[in-house]
Amino acid sequence: MSDRKGSAFAGVGVAIVTPFTEGKLDVAKLKTQIEFQIAAGVHFLVPVGTTGESPTLTHDEHERVISEVIQLASGRCKVMAGTGSNCTAEALRLTRRAEKEGADASLQVAPYYNKPTQKGFYEHFKAVAEAVGIPHCVYNIPGRSAKNIEPETIARLAELPNITMVKEATGSLDQCSQILNSTNLTVLSGDDSLTLPMMSIGAQGVISVAGNIVPRDLLAMVAAAAAGDFTVAAKLHHKLFPLCRDMLSLATNPIPVKCAMKLLGRDSGELRLPMTELDDTEIAILRKTLTAYGLL
């Protein structure tokens, strides 16, 4: 497994939330969150992904969050900057800026809404890979982007030297298997609850939402799976499962994780429209899960 491209990013990456106070980016809270993650020992941070509310950040805010995270991390862990877009020119601009700021890699989401052909997907990612020399992780999430990047297209992309990883969020173990069989890319789970099943067939870690709350348990599960101790890994998986389930089933990410962090005193819980807060019934469900986990 160690000979896979992108294996330097094996383990646990956390898709960190973007904290707001009174509608504005809260850099002090961002710093606190980064220190929390580094103290836990996460392998890399992923700012301005889906969990970081990238669709509602201005371009200036997007670039500032990436810059702040890189500076605050100060080389203590890697930073994979979310710089994808459904506009290739914008993805190029954001990715070039992230490279200049010192990002270790970029996360490139599948172009959303405009639903490119498979050729369009290929040409989009190829343009970014050829223009910016850092490693790139293709982020396949058809539930949000409206179209799947087919395994055959990912296999073609794997031939490009600095496309080294895939964040697999299709929910399909068959697709994960096809990618692992046909490429030497590092596959990272894009769904917390599927991390262990995916690692059992060769994935090498996760880009996690629940890691915002319980990074140490995610790290322990991934380490056990990587060591082949699936008895321990399964116990941790089942412990984590209710929490991971709530992060995605109660409402659209990052609504539940921001609410959980607010309940734990770690974030204001503020969201930007069109994201709205959980209702009282949903908060009660989340509170019950957090209490059962031992967090409240």
Asked whether residue 267 is domain-assigned, the answer is: no
- Which listed residue (29, 139, 147, 258) is catalytic? 139
Asked whether residue 279 is domain-assigned, the answer is: no
Domain housing 126:
7-228
Is position 112 annotated as part of the catalytic site? no
d(CA 44, CA 4) in angstroms, rounded, equals 18
Q: Which amino acid is at 186?
A: T
Asked whether residue 119 is domain-assigned, the answer is: yes
d(CA 293, CA 263) in angstroms, rounded, equals 14
Residue 42 token pair: 């996460």
Asked whether residue 289 is domain-assigned, the answer is: no
CA distance from start to end of the chain:
38
Q: What is the residue-level pLDDT of the chain in tens, covering all 296 positions? A: 458 999 999 999 999 999 999 999 999 999 999 999 999 999 999 999 999 999 999 999 999 999 999 999 999 999 999 999 999 999 999 999 999 999 999 999 999 999 999 999 999 999 999 999 999 999 999 999 999 999 999 999 999 999 999 999 999 999 999 999 999 999 999 999 999 999 999 999 999 999 999 999 999 999 999 999 999 999 999 999 999 999 999 999 999 999 999 999 999 999 999 999 999 999 999 999 999 999 99
Looking at residue 88, its pLDDT comes to 98
d(CA 199, CA 197) in angstroms, rounded, equals 6
pTM exceeds 0.85, yes or no:
yes
Looking at residue 50, its pLDDT comes to 95
Give yes or no for a contact between 270 and 241, defined as CB atoms under 8 angstroms apart. no
C-alpha to C-alpha distances, 19 to 158, 247, 269, 292, 294, nearest whole angstrom: 34, 17, 8, 26, 24
Give yes or no for a contact between 207 and 194, defined as CB atoms under 8 angstroms apart. no
What CATH number should be reported for the domain holding residue 91? 3.20.20.70
Is position 167 annotated as part of the catalytic site? yes
Looking at residue 65, its pLDDT comes to 98
Asked whether residue 278 is domain-assigned, the answer is: no
Asked whether residue 165 is domain-assigned, the answer is: yes
Asked whether residue 153 is domain-assigned, the answer is: yes
- Which listed residue (5, 29, 147, 167) is catalytic? 167
Q: Which residue has the tokens 């539930």?
A: 143
Domain count, the chain: 1
Looking at residue 2, its pLDDT comes to 58
Looking at residue 1, its pLDDT comes to 45
Looking at residue 3, its pLDDT comes to 83
Asked whether residue 244 is domain-assigned, the answer is: no
